[in-house]
Amino acid sequence: MGKIRRIGVLTSGGDAPGMNAAIRAVTRTAIYNQLEVFGIRHGYRGLIERNFKQLKAHSVSDILQRGGTILKTARCEEFKTPEGRKTAYDNLKDFGIDGVVVIGGDGTFTGARIFNEEYDIPFIGIPGTIDNDIYGTDYTIGYDTALNTVVEAVDKIRDTASAHNRLFFIEVMGADAGFIALYSGIANGAEAILIPEIPDQVKNLKKTLEEGFKRKKSSNIIIVAEGEDEGGAFEIAEKVKSDFENYSIRVTVLGHIQRGGSPTASDRVNASRLGYAAVEALLDGQTSVMVGLQHNEIVLVPFRKAIKQHKDVDRNLLEIADILSL
């Protein structure tokens, strides 16, 4: 691997608030180190379609506070093929790009790892997903904003739940991980939190609701992670409604509202730190690694570990949630 003179940056997979802050940090850190920067639009598809545009310092002005990603994002089946990756490599060589920073999640890192096994252009990953489910980092870009969006929405739902003696099932995002559900459930004082990491929760849910009914609770908020094995919020509400006819049951699916909005200060600062660290990793000769945060310190984690190993929720928080929901 030769000297780094020109780099590319792309966002792939689901968008997340704070991605623009990372793009800005990558761009300006590279320029500070006298590197040229090319933004690659529409993720890996842009690599194959030669959708490259040079970025200057002013190109990333006034984007820090914007949600989404100025580079756009997309999923690309063609990059999963040897032929697609060969086309991407040829395009990178044609543009003289010596390294690439990819911002995304598991799927993004899987593509980068495979590419680095085949070709000599280093890829460095920045964890960008609201799910916060990437192994090797305590934090992923967008998680804090999504969490605060959920908390604000559920606060408003509780107002109407209390006014009408209603039982609300609220479905939140998180793919197959319960981080958003668990943390928002504690922050909102939910009576129950259902996450994929804990099996057979519907039986315990009925018991919790019965105890609440005996204590004459006027409302109940149940947070359901979208990846819950027993179904989403609609399915679980259907399973329990016949046992609680005194409650007016409502279901709310927050959906993609959680992926949008202006990033929080935490997302802006941490995304900036990770963008800076990604360029530094390239300059240090690193390849096929993710830059992450552990105990508020920058760490380098091989793609192999970030992809294959499972990040679990804090089990102590589950006990806290149970105790505080009394």
Contact 116, 87 (CB under 8 A): no
Question: Which one of the listed residues 106, 131, 144, 267 is annotated catalytic?
Answer: 131
Which pair of tokens denotes residue 168? 């609300």
Cβ atoms of residues 274 and 126 within 8 Å:
yes
* Whole-angstrom distance, CA of residue 216 vs CA of residue 224: 23
6: Cβ contacts below 8 Å, ≥ 6 apart = 35, 36, 37, 38, 95, 96, 97, 98
Task: Say which amino acid occupies 227.
Answer: G
Q: Is 240 helix (H, G, I), strand (E, B) or coil?
A: helix
Residues ≥6 apart with Cβ < 8 Å to 215: none
200 counts as catalytic? no
Spatial distance between the Cα atoms of 39 and 23, rounded to a whole number of angstroms = 9
DSSP at 14: S
Closest CA to 9 of 324, 192, 29, 181: 29
For 229, list phi and psi in degrees, rounded to 5: -60, -30
Cβ–Cβ under 8 Å, residues 278 and 126: yes
Catalytic site positions: 131
